[in-house]
Amino acid sequence: NAGVTQTPKFRILKIGQSMTLQCTQDMNHNYMYWYRQDPGMGLKLIYYSVGAGITDKGEVPNGYNVSRSTTEDFPLRLELAAPSQTSVYFCASSYSVGTSGSIRYNEQFFGPGTRLTVL
C-alpha cells in the first residue's frame, strides 16, 4: 500500500492564480480530511468528507473548495490564491464506523504534505 499520497510536494503561486492539490489513498478509508499547518502552528481543518459525494466545512474553509467523487480521491481547489494561503497542506484519511453521535474513530493517516507559497 502506498497509503496517502499528495501532489505536488512544493508549489509557488502568484496572487490570483488557481491550483488543485491532489490527494489519493489506497486503504479504502471512508473519511478524508484536508488540514493546513502554518509555521510553528497546529493543524487547522479546512474540509472533510465522510464518504464519496459527501463533504463538509471545517474550521477554515474560506478560499477553498473540495470534491469527493470517488473513495480514493479528495482534491483541494484554491481558486484565487492569496498570501494568507501560504502554508503546508496535509491530506489525511481514516476508517471510522458508526453514525453521528456514536462514531468509533480510528487512526488518521497523513500524506507527506504540500508546501505552498503564494507571492
- Candidates 7, 105, 117, 119; binder of another protein (CB under 8 A) is 105
**What residues from 17 to 36 belong to the interface with another protein (CB under 8 A)?**
31, 33
Pick between residue 21 and residue 81 the one whose CB is nearest to another protein: 21
Burial 43-59 (b: 16+ CB within 10 A, else e): bebbbbbbebeebeebe
Q: How far is the CB of 17 from another protein (least distance, A)?
A: 25
Rg (CA), the chain: 14
Q: Is omega for the bond preceding 8 within 30 degrees of 0, making it cis?
A: yes
Interface mask (CB under 8 A) for another protein, residues 48-77, using x and -? x-x-------x-------------------
Region of 40 (left: φ > 0; alpha: ψ -120 to 50; beta: rest) is left
Pick between residue 17 and residue 37 the one whose CB is nearest to another protein: 37
Kind plus residue range of the DSSP H or E element containing 10? strand 10-13
Interaction between residue 90 and another protein (CB under 8 A): yes
Q: Enumerate binding residues for another protein (CB under 8 A).
A: 31, 33, 41-43, 45, 48, 50, 58, 90, 96, 100-101, 103-105, 107-108, 110-113
